[in-house]
Amino acid sequence: MAYQSGRNIAVSYKPEVAFGQLPGSAGAKAFRPNSGNLTLGKEPIRSNEIRRDGMTTRGRHGSRTVTGQYAGDLSVGTFDDLLEAVFRGTFSPALTLTEADFTSLTTTANTIVAASGDWLALGLRVGDVIRLADHASAANNGRNIRIADLSATTIIVADTLTVNAVADTDVSLTRPKKLIQGLVPRSFTVEEHEADIDGSEVFKGVRVGSVQVQMQPNGMCILTFGLVGQDMEVMTGASAPYFTDPAETVSVGLTAVEAKILLGADEVLDISSIDLTLNLNASGVPVVGSVLTPDVFTNLATVEGTITALKQDVARSEQFLNEDVLSLQLLFEEQGGAPADFCSFFLGNFTLATATKGELGQDNARTQSFTLLTGVDERGGAYDRTIIKYQTSAA
């Protein structure tokens, strides 16, 4: 008799056309997990019968709930559809601008200046990652450049550019696709195929209820997706696996040590850990007449986080004290190639909610930990109306 190992398990998923209904078996995508699982739970219904024999009557099964999570290494293109689901948004396609949009460009050490046009009207926003191509100064080409601020004709960047005051009419500027929060619900069917015993648990009506972004020294950037679903069925033999040839990405995992981190206007190298969670507080609702919730409902989105850093001055203590509004950008780039493929997370509107310090007497550097108090950015103009946004070079 074969027993199922903990490794030889394929996790795959596909968007549902209608909530809780199996999609076609082709066209699924493989999840590249580090850990996790989904589980069907049933609420026990216990009898309140008072028996003369002093024993209890067997209970029954009640409402069903699917819960669980999967963790995986952040990599380019691997989790775009799941991030789209937890953002409840839709990726805006890559945007390419040419001299027809801005006539010509000049560059200073930290700005890109257009001769005409309007960067805001053309669709650029603070926190976007952009790329130049065919610029007269070759060192400015093929780079992931972060927008720190912008006006109608001037982009202020967080990166150092090669100065070129000669108007360049042959250059182009691209903003790869990006994702902000919205209200579009999406559900998936998720399959765990246990290959050793040739059986599958197929979970239906699964919504992505949360995503956690974790960074630790000398580790990968880990995304953990919290899932809530409606029901499960078991398939064996010729029916398993249900999904045929799920597509699997091959992009490399992105590490915390190679991340570029902007906290406010400062490029920081002293952060020892970051933990961010976007939570939709998803849940089903038990009903009379069925063991299935009619839907899995998502609620107000919250973003919570903690930043821990080495203490080198009192600047962050002052930011906490003064309730300064800050931003945070995490840019992860693949090594090799130009432009480097990337993933970027941006929080544009938060303050430091709490502040704690490491204990006295420790031999290593003292640390500070701050929790974040976030909210939707409603400044308009140069700012996307979202709590968090995600951008990637993936097609």
Side-chain-side CA neighbours of residue 232 (13 Å): 23
Side-chain-side CA neighbours of residue 120 (13 Å): 11
Nearest of 202, 153, 183 to residue 10 by alpha carbon: 202
Q: Is the dihedral of CA 208, 212, 213, 217 positive or negative?
A: negative
Give the model's confidence band at 358: pLDDT under 50 very low, under 70 low, under 90 confident, else very high.
confident
Report how far residue 91's alpha carbon sits from residue 390's, in angstroms, rounded to the nearest whole number. 9
Query: What pLDDT shows up at residue 242?
Result: 98
**CB 339, CB 393: distance < 8 Å:** yes
pLDDT tens track for 216-252: 999 999 999 999 999 999 999 999 999 999 999 999 9
Question: Tokens 């995503």 sit at which residue?
Answer: 211
Average pLDDT of the chain, as a whole number: 95
Q: Taking 70 as the threshold, does the pLDDT of residue 363 lie above it?
A: no
Q: Stretch 130-134: mean pLDDT, rounded?
A: 97
pLDDT tens track for 184-214: 999 999 999 999 999 999 999 999 999 999 9
Nearest of 197, 206, 204, 200 to residue 234 by alpha carbon: 200
What is the percent of the chain where pLDDT is above 90? 90
- What's the Cα-to-Cα distance from 49 to each of 42, 52, 55, 276, 289, rounded to whole Å? 21, 10, 9, 48, 22
Nearest of 9, 73, 12 to residue 246 by alpha carbon: 12
Question: Tokens 């999840």 sit at which residue?
Answer: 31
Q: Stretch 334-349: mean pLDDT, rounded?
A: 93
Report how far residue 79's alpha carbon sits from residue 91's, in angstroms, rounded to the nearest whole number. 13
Residue 119 makes CB contacts below 8 A (sequence gap 6+) with: 102, 150, 151, 152, 153, 154, 155
- What's the Cα-to-Cα distance from 108 to each of 71, 105, 115, 163, 368, rounded to whole Å? 42, 10, 14, 4, 35
Nearest of 348, 350, 345 to residue 316 by alpha carbon: 350
Q: Stretch 129-151: mean pLDDT, rounded?
A: 97
Report how far residue 259's alpha carbon sits from residue 332's, in angstroms, rounded to the nearest whole number. 5
**CB 213, CB 330: distance < 8 Å:** yes
Give the model's confidence band at 82: pLDDT under 50 very low, under 70 low, under 90 confident, else very high.
very high
Query: What pLDDT shows up at residue 76?
Result: 97
Extents of the domains making up the chain: 9-39+68-91+181-392, 95-175
Question: What is the DSSP-derived secondary structure letter of residue 127?
Answer: T
Q: Taking 90 as the threshold, does the pLDDT of residue 264 lie above it?
A: no
**CB 206, CB 186: distance < 8 Å:** no
Number of other CB atoms surrounding residue 312 within 10 Å: 12
The C-alpha R_g of the chain, in whole angstroms, comes to 25
Report how far residue 306's alpha carbon sits from residue 18's, in angstroms, rounded to the nearest whole number. 37
Report how far residue 40's alpha carbon sits from residue 292's, in angstroms, rounded to the nearest whole number. 12
Reduced to 3 states, what is the DSSP secondary structure of residue 337?
A: coil
pLDDT tens track for 303-319: 999 999 998 888 889 99
Q: Stretch 65-90: mean pLDDT, rounded?
A: 98
| 95-175: in CATH 3.30.420 | no
Q: Stretch 180-185: mean pLDDT, rounded?
A: 98
Q: Taking 90 as the threshold, does the pLDDT of residue 30 lie above it?
A: yes
Nearest of 311, 322, 317 to residue 364 by alpha carbon: 311
Model pTM greater than 0.85?
yes
Q: Stretch 42-69: mean pLDDT, rounded?
A: 96
CA angle 65-66-67, nearest 5°? 115
**CB 83, CB 211: distance < 8 Å:** yes
